[in-house]
Amino acid sequence: MVGVKYFALPLTLCLLALSPSGSRAGPPVADGAESSGASLFAQAAAEALNRGFPSRDISFLLLDAHTGGVLASRWDHLDTPIPMGSLVKPFTALAYGEEHAFQYPAHTCRGTATGCWLPLGHGNINLTTAIAYSCNSYFRMLTENLTAADVSPTASRFGLEPPRNGAAGPQLAGLGTRWQISPLRMARAYLELVRRREQPGVNQILDGMAQSALHGTGAEVHRAFPVSAALVKTGTAACIHFRHAAGDGFTVALVPADEPQVLLMVRVHGVPGSQAAKTAGQMLRRIED
């Protein structure tokens, strides 16, 4: 149980995230480098998450949304690029938008027939709905003529490693392993996305993430943690574990939605992203309790 109502106190968060000298929060508590001010919440959060979710199939990263500082983590090799699946889709969408005056087409997802994970399809959708339901059919259409060179400038602006040379089409929407990103860079890119909410295209993406938390692929976050609106993006990526599985599920959740104070990124071995969202919601509830 964490004693500080971290999500409800923005001012408290800012104070806890700073050392007495005013510097930003540093590495995870486990590394012994947190100041006494920042460590109060971080130590409690780390203890709650490690005790409540001891399985090594679960990796997590908790960030201060204001500073990007690491509050707690259990994730081997945070700086090593790995496949992230559909977590890249918001940044792919922005790269497309920059080439098309941020005019996003409508699309009819017919499920298996158009390459979506949902066999019966999502029907008529736009970008916001495609983000909410992580529609592969929509992003296959959106990336049809995109190359790594088209996406790399956007990746750079958000601090992401660029796609590999030669990556193109659906590979740029997280299908396959041609675009790999380190977990810490990916998490901080989502914080940057929120900071840029007034820029073209970003609000549509954030609206999709809000819808994801309510009724899309991230809805398990809200079911497990109903006390706060959230921004959620899920993804399923190729498994890189020695004990191989069909895929690993990822979830990024920022709470509260209107002014995020923390970001939680979770990876769960051997499950889809929608199932990882359930774990993320349970983790947020454990921290808030």
- What is the sign of the dihedral through the CA atoms of 276, 281, 282 and 288? positive
Q: What was the pLDDT predicted at 227?
A: 81
Residue with tokens 């019966």: 120
Distance CA 136, CA 142 (A): 10
pTM to 2 decimal places: 0.88
Q: What was the pLDDT predicted at 247?
A: 85
Q: What was the pLDDT predicted at 40?
A: 84
Q: What was the pLDDT predicted at 250?
A: 98
Q: What was the pLDDT predicted at 29?
A: 38
User: Which residues of the chain fall short of a pLDDT of 70?
Assistant: 1-38, 242, 245
CB 158, CB 92: distance < 8 Å: no
Hey, where are the domains in the chain? 1-80+213-289, 81-181
Q: What was the pLDDT predicted at 228?
A: 82
Burial 256-288 (b: 16+ CB within 10 A, else e): bbeebbbbbbbbbbebbbbbbbbbbbbbbbbbb
Distance CA 289, CA 279 (A): 15
CATH architecture of residue range(s) 1-80+213-289: 2-Layer Sandwich (3.30)
Mean pLDDT, all residues of the chain: 88
